[in-house]
């Protein structure tokens, strides 16, 4: 089956204490987003990449591609006002519904070929495949002024890729308007009635959100060399 | 008020793929456990350290102290068969109940003076102070064969230190036998009726559990220099 990857990169640098959008921060010689795209191409050089960026970032992206001699041959799509709308815009460019699509955060550059492979395999069999890890910490739930301990063995921390049979996830995104209940693509699919299949992600596959994450990512990349 | 720190280090190296117990793995020139103890001494050189180790590790600890010229002046206490029993053994050595005690994982070497300070301040005011962070990922709860998305804004990932007025946490540990419902010290205190006060921990204050964590810890330590 034909394989697509929608890389969603709409974030700002606010939690990073940076003016530069997170996806454009340079990690080990080139911007995070290029690492992420290369991770998918290194899994399969024929995968069709759909990069969703704010329209206002297109020029910056093109400048970065020149600067880093990065030949981007995928489809560039303008994002919307929310992650939901951005993913929807990305999905709308896929004409072949009998395909598979991995939706992935632009700022998860450490995703491995193994994880991407597993996600496509499982999605082909089951319709959906969501990378997830078990928390290493005890968990509490806040309520009112207090909090209550909770059995962490039941909790899963959700990562990306979130991979689907394309027609299922397209239908799901077409069925709804954006809502705060949609924290990720799996939650949209779930509301549409798609069964959500989790698989074991990787603790290194972090979403770069805070300055510590940059330190971690740099260390993992230098370890890989 | 007099301040104690119980450092609990009973873990094995199993998830690390190592024969050496995690707390004795060398990180940046000396064992993890020494970093952890030094973090508390660097917050306050007069803090009373109670180190809980398996009795079978005492000799190894002494050898490491000689090897790394580490002068340990705290109290060394033999752990029990569970974390619960180990903490209880540590608590039983504190004679001054009108004091404060921080209970901390031996394999959280990156705890900062600021976090330790906040935990003692809050525990003195409120009786308990538990370091916690917000998850960066979406959360799902498994049930049966499926899973359900969950509002992550209510979820807190629990760290240590978990700091208490000593008499409260001693009473709590004396009131119960060990049980699988006790995933940390806060859950013991909670069951005894102590109000649990969370405060904002730090994403760097990781529990070293898997090989990625060693890479992260090394990177953070080298950043600090």
Q: What confidence score (pLDDT) does residue A43 get?
A: 98
CB contact under 8 A, A157 and B143: no
Compute, in degrees rounded to 10, the torsion defined by CA atoms A74, A76, A81, A86: -30
> Which chain B residues are closer than 8 Å to A223 by Cβ?
215
Task: Count contacts between A and B (CB, < 8 Å).
Answer: 126
For chain A, positions 157-196, list CB contacts with chain B under 8 A.
157-159, 181, 183-184, 186-187, 190, 195-196
The CA distance from A63 to the nearest CA of chain B, in Å, is 30
Between A109-113, A118-122, A156-160, B145-149, the lowest mean confidence (pLDDT) is in: B145-149
Check residue B179 and give its pLDDT.
87
Q: Cβ separation of A139 and B156 shorter than 8 Å? A: yes
Helix (H) or strand (E) holding B186: helix B185-192
Contact: B186, A154; criterion CB under 8 Å: no
Q: Do A158 and B140 touch (CB under 8 A)?
A: yes
Predicted local distance difference test score (pLDDT) of residue A124: 98
Q: B44 is written with which tokens?
A: 């306050």
Q: What is the rounded average pLDDT of the residues B176-205?
A: 93
At A86-129, the pLDDT tens digits run 999 999 999 999 999 999 999 999 999 999 999 999 999 999 99
Q: Of B88, B107, B78, nearest to B14 (Cα)?
A: B107
pLDDT level of residue A179 (50, 70, 90 thresholds): confident
- The predicted pLDDT at position B151 comes to 87
- Rounded CA-CA distance B190/B176 in Å is 12
B225 CB within 8 Å of a chain A CB = no
In this model, does residue A26 exceed pLDDT 90? yes
CA A101 to chain centre: 11
Phi, psi dihedrals of residue B22, rounded to the nearest 5°: -50, -45
Q: Do B215 and A216 touch (CB under 8 A)?
A: yes
Closest CA to A28 of A224, A205, A218: A218
CB contact B212 to A (< 8 Å): yes
Q: Which of A108, A127, A132, A140 to mutate to test the interface with B (most CBs of B within 10 A)?
A: A140
- Residue A50 φ then ψ, to 5°: -115, 110
Residue B102 has pLDDT above 90, yes or no: yes
Least CA distance to A140: which residue of chain B?
A: B156
Residue A203 clears pLDDT 70, i.e. is over it: yes
Contacts of B132 in chain A (CB under 8 A): 140
Q: Minimal Cα distance from A224: which residue of B?
A: B215
CA distance B150 to B141: 7
- Say whether pLDDT at A13 is over 70: no
What value does the mean pLDDT of chain A take?
93
Q: Identify the pLDDT of residue B165.
A: 98
Nearest-by-CA chain B residue for A222: B215
| pLDDT on residue A12 | 63
Tokens in use for B64? 């490491």
Q: Is the pLDDT of residue A6 over 70?
A: yes
Given a contact cutoff of 8 angstroms between Cβ atoms, the answer to whether B29 and B19 are in contact is no
Whether the per-residue pLDDT at B14 is higher than 70: the answer is no
Q: Which of B157, B203, B212 sits opposite A220 (nearest CB)?
A: B212
Which of A9-13, A74-78, A202-206, B186-190 bottoms out in mean pLDDT, i.e. has the lowest? A9-13
Task: Determine whether the interchain pair A215/B216 forms a contact, defined as Cβ–Cβ distance below 8 Å.
Answer: yes
Burial class (CB in 10 A: 0-12, 13-18, 19+), A167: middle
pLDDT in tens, B52-94: 999 999 999 999 999 999 999 999 999 998 999 999 999 999 9
Interface predicted TM-score (ipTM) over 0.95:
no
Out of A48-52, A117-121, B67-71, B209-213, least confident range: B209-213
- Chain A's closest residue to B189, CA to CA, is A149
Distance, CA of B37 to CA of B41 (rounded, Å): 6
A190 contacts on B by Cβ (under 8 Å): 148-149
Can you name the residues that pair with B169 across neighbouring β-strands? none
């Amino acid at each position: 089956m034909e394989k697509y990857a929608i890389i969603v990169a709409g974030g700002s640098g606010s939690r990073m204490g940076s003016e530069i959008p997170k996806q454009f921060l340079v990690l080990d010689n080139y911007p995070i987003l290029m690492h992420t795209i290369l991770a998918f191409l290194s899994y399969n050089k024929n995968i069709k990449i759909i990069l969703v960026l704010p329209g206002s970032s297109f020029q910056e992206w093109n400048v970065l591609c020149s600067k880093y001699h990065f030949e981007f041959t995928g489809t560039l799509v303008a994002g919307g006002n929310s992650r939901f709308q951005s993913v929807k815009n990305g999905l709308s460019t896929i004409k072949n519904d009998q395909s598979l699509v991995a939706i992935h955060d632009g700022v998860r550059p450490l995703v491995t070929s193994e994880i991407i492979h597993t996600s496509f395999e499982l999605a082909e069999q089951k319709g959906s495949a969501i990378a997830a890890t078990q928390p290493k910490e005890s968990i509490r739930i806040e309520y009112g002024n207090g909090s209550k301990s909770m059995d962490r063995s039941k909790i899963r921390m959700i990562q990306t890729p979130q991979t689907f049979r394309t027609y299922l996830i397209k239908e799901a995104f077409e069925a709804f308007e954006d809502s705060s209940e949609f924290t990720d693509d799996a939650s949209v699919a779930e509301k549409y009635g798609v069964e959500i299949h989790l698989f074991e992600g990787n603790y290194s596959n972090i979403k770069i959100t805070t300055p510590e994450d940059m330190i971690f990512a740099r260390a993992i990349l230098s370890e890989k060399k």
